[in-house]
Every structure is written in structure tokens, then in C-alpha cells.
């Protein structure tokens, strides 16, 4: 049986990676630098949120 928390994390990471990739293809050099920094912060936040949600269901 698949772990729901792992599945949710995988979906969130995939979606975030897609959004970042799309944004980077249409951004200027300065915007790319800012997007990379913000994407790292967002990934950490999503990971933390998924850990919290996973803990609620365990």
C-alpha cells in the first residue's frame, strides 16, 4: 500500500518544479535569481507543511 504522505510530497514537489521551470523560461536574469531563491524557500515550506499534515494523519 502506498503511503499517502509520500504521494502528497511527490505531487507537491512535481508541481513546484513545473511552476519554477515555466517561470524560469520566461524570466530575465534578475528575475531568475530571485525565483531560484524563492523556490528554495517554497520547497522547504511545502516539505514542512507535508510533514505536519502527515503527522496529523498518523
Q: Tell me the DSSP string of 9-42.
A: HHHHHHHHHHHHHHHHHT--HHHHHHHHHHHHHH
Give the model's confidence band at 1: pLDDT under 50 very low, under 70 low, under 90 confident, else very high: very low
Res 55: pLDDT: 77
Q: What is the pLDDT of residues 9-56, one digit of tens each?
A: 788 888 888 887 887 788 788 887 887 788 788 888 888 887 887 777
Give the model's confidence band at 58: pLDDT under 50 very low, under 70 low, under 90 confident, else very high: low
The domain segmentation of the chain, as residue ranges, is 33-58
Amino acid at each position: 500500500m502506498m503511503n499517502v504522505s509520500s504521494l502528497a510530497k511527490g505531487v507537491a514537489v512535481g508541481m513546484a518544479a513545473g511552476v519554477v521551470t515555466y517561470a524560469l523560461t520566461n524570466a530575465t536574469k534578475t528575475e531568475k535569481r530571485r525565483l531560484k531563491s524563492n523556490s528554495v524557500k517554497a520547497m522547504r515550506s511545502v516539505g514542512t507543511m507535508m510533514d505536519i499534515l502527515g503527522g496529523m494523519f498518523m
